[in-house]
Amino acid sequence: MRKSTTVSILVLGFAGLLAAADTATTAAPQAAAAVKDTAKAASAIQDTGKAAIKPKDSATVAALPADTSKKSDSAKTALPDSSKAAAANLAAASDSTGESDSTQTKAKAKKRKRVVRETTVNTIDELKGKYRSPKKALFMSMIVPGLGQAYVGHTWTNYTRGAVYFLADVAMIYGWHHYVDIRQNAQIKKYQAFADSNWLQSKYEDSIRVSPEKLTLRNQVRETYCDAVQENGSSSGLILHQACIDPKQNDAFQNEYQDRNWSVDSIAHRRSQFPNPHAFYEIIGKEQEFITGWKDANNVVMGDSAFYEMGADGNAARDNLGRLVLAYTPQQQEYISMRAKANDYARMQAYFLGGIVINHIVSAIDAALAAHYHNKALYQTETSWYDRVSLDSRLAWDGYAPIPTVTASVTF
């Protein structure tokens, strides 16, 4: 009887142990699930608190996860060791699942950005190094054409236009220097050397003294001529200047400029020291009254108010209408042609300077506009063509019959 009782007790004890093991095995997953649910609830409470509570309530937000963690710790403490291990594994799996969910969310966001490629610039910091000042671009190209376009950059068209403006400016500056500074000066020296070789002051003065009483009629720019060739700042110079204006008083001026036997170099040196050599070289070719100073002016008849061409009978020649023909000489005509060519070079200065000014202005305006459109493009949103298509549907009634209407529009 005792043996059977002992065996029964052992059997009951072994059954109790199996029941307790089953209970522990069943309780471990339930506890792990409870821990997971508690952690998710704590995370949700924390996120909700951060979104809803103002910054000044940050202390309250920080307290929420602490309380939750305490509950979680108490739950873990109540579990046996095997349940704790299972809960730890489940928590690690939950973390990995959260990370994978976050990675998938980012991937989806990137995928959406590929569909609509946003180029909108939101903050000033993002514009640093990209924004181009239109005023700065304008003044840069105003000083050096093309420099503003190079400052804006970004596209090859800006660089190309900048190069065109710069090269155009260089070409016009070179043209101005070549034609106005080099060729004009060379032409001036050329016609001055021609006059020094072929126009004599002594020959002109001899023609003046043939009939000095007609000086005011025939030589109307005589005073301008005297101002150009004779200084009057000294006492001796003033005497010569007065003798030039009124040759009837004395022959001092004529004797001072007896250049008939001078060398060409001596004549050129003396004329380079005139008070106004530019005016001298201009009037001897421009005014007809100085024709008698040319070496080939031989067949010239002096009239009361001008010099005329000599006819076959030795008198002033007349044309078919009976008018007197003004005298001219081949040397005078060649000299006039040389001066005209030099004047053409001088007039080109206005064209080159005008072109340079226009090029600077146009380049400056173009640079400012380039900077404006460059900055405008930074704020634009680039979308796909189907994102610019919108559909609008509505239902209209014709009596008792419904008529569906669909409208499509495209935004550019």
Q: Classify residue 32: in a domain, yes or no.
A: yes
Higher-pLDDT residue of 168 and 154 is 168
Q: How far is CA 359 from CA 78, 150, 351, 369, in A?
A: 89, 16, 12, 15
* pLDDT at residue 76 in the model: 44
DSSP letter (8 states) at residue 326: B
Residue 240: domain span = 200-293+295-328
Q: Classify residue 258: in a domain, yes or no.
A: yes
* pLDDT at residue 320 in the model: 81
Which of 187-196, 285-294, 329-338, 400-409 has the least mean pLDDT? Answer: 400-409
Place of tokens 């995928």: 111
Q: Classify residue 318: in a domain, yes or no.
A: yes
Strand partners, 310: 316
Last residue of a domain, one of 56, 87, 115: 115
* pLDDT at residue 109 in the model: 52
Q: How many domains does the chain have?
A: 2
**pLDDT at residue 133 greater than cutoff 70:** yes
Measure the N-to-C terminal CA separation of the chain; round to a whole number of Å.
103
State the average pLDDT over residues 182-211. 91
* pLDDT at residue 383 in the model: 53
Q: How far is CA 388 from CA 117, 118, 122, 373, in A?
A: 13, 14, 22, 22
Last residue of a domain, one of 115, 134, 158: 115
* pLDDT at residue 331 in the model: 93
Helix boundaries (H) for 257-329: 264-272, 277-286
Q: Classify residue 275: in a domain, yes or no.
A: yes
Q: Classify residue 367: in a domain, yes or no.
A: no
CA 299 to chain centre: 64
Average pLDDT along the chain: 74
Question: Are 317 and 206 in a shared domain?
Answer: yes
366 in Cβ contact with 138 (< 8 Å): no
Q: What's the pLDDT band for 293 if we cut at 50, 70, 90?
A: very high
Q: What is the pLDDT of residues 272-284, one digit of tens each?
A: 999 999 999 999 9
Task: Give CA–CA dist 123/263, Å, rounded.
Answer: 83
| Residue 224 phi, psi (nearest 5) | -65, -40
Q: How far is CA 395 from CA 85, 391, 402, 409, in A?
A: 63, 14, 6, 18
Task: Give CA–CA dist 388/373, Å, rounded.
Answer: 22
231 in Cβ contact with 275 (< 8 Å): yes
State the average pLDDT over residues 7-30. 42
176 in Cβ contact with 352 (< 8 Å): yes
Q: What's the pLDDT band for 91 if we cut at 50, 70, 90?
A: low
219 in Cβ contact with 274 (< 8 Å): no
Single out the residue of 242, 248, 220 nearest to residue 304, CA to CA: 220
Which of 14-18, 163-167, 327-331 has the least mean pLDDT? Answer: 14-18
Q: Is 77 helix (H, G, I), strand (E, B) or coil?
A: helix
Place of tokens 């994978």: 100
Question: Are 318 and 216 in a shared domain?
Answer: yes
Instruction: Retrieve residue 15's tokens.
Output: 């059954």
Instruction: Retrieve residue 368's tokens.
Output: 């400012």
Per-residue exposure over 44-54, b if at least 16 CB sit within 10 Å of its own CB, e if not: eeeeebeeeee
State the average pLDDT over residues 358-380. 89
Q: Classify residue 174: in a domain, yes or no.
A: no
Last residue of a domain, one of 61, 93, 115: 115
Task: Give CA–CA dist 258/203, Å, rounded.
Answer: 9
* pLDDT at residue 402 in the model: 73
Task: Give CA–CA dist 165/76, Å, rounded.
Answer: 79
**pLDDT at residue 177 greater than cutoff 60:** yes
146 in Cβ contact with 405 (< 8 Å): no
Percent of the chain as helix, strand, coil, to the nearest 5:
70, 10, 20
Q: What is the CA radius of gyration of the chain?
A: 54
Question: Are 205 and 103 in a shared domain?
Answer: no
Q: What's the pLDDT band for 103 if we cut at 50, 70, 90?
A: low
Q: What's the pLDDT band for 29 if we cut at 50, 70, 90?
A: very low
Q: Classify residue 304: in a domain, yes or no.
A: yes
State the average pLDDT over residues 348-369. 93
Q: Classify residue 322: in a domain, yes or no.
A: yes
Q: What is the pLDDT of residues 37-80, one digit of tens each?
A: 544 544 544 454 444 444 444 444 344 444 444 444 444 444 44
Burial class of residue 196 (count of CB atoms within 10 Å of its CB; 0-12, 13-18, 19+): buried
Identify residue 44 by its one-letter amino acid code. A
Cβ-proximal residues to 55 (8 Å cutoff; 6+ apart), any chain = none
Q: What is the pLDDT of residues 370-412, one digit of tens each?
A: 999 888 887 765 555 555 667 677 767 776 677 777 777 766 5
State the average pLDDT over residues 27-41. 48
Task: Give CA–CA dist 375/325, Å, rounded.
Answer: 73
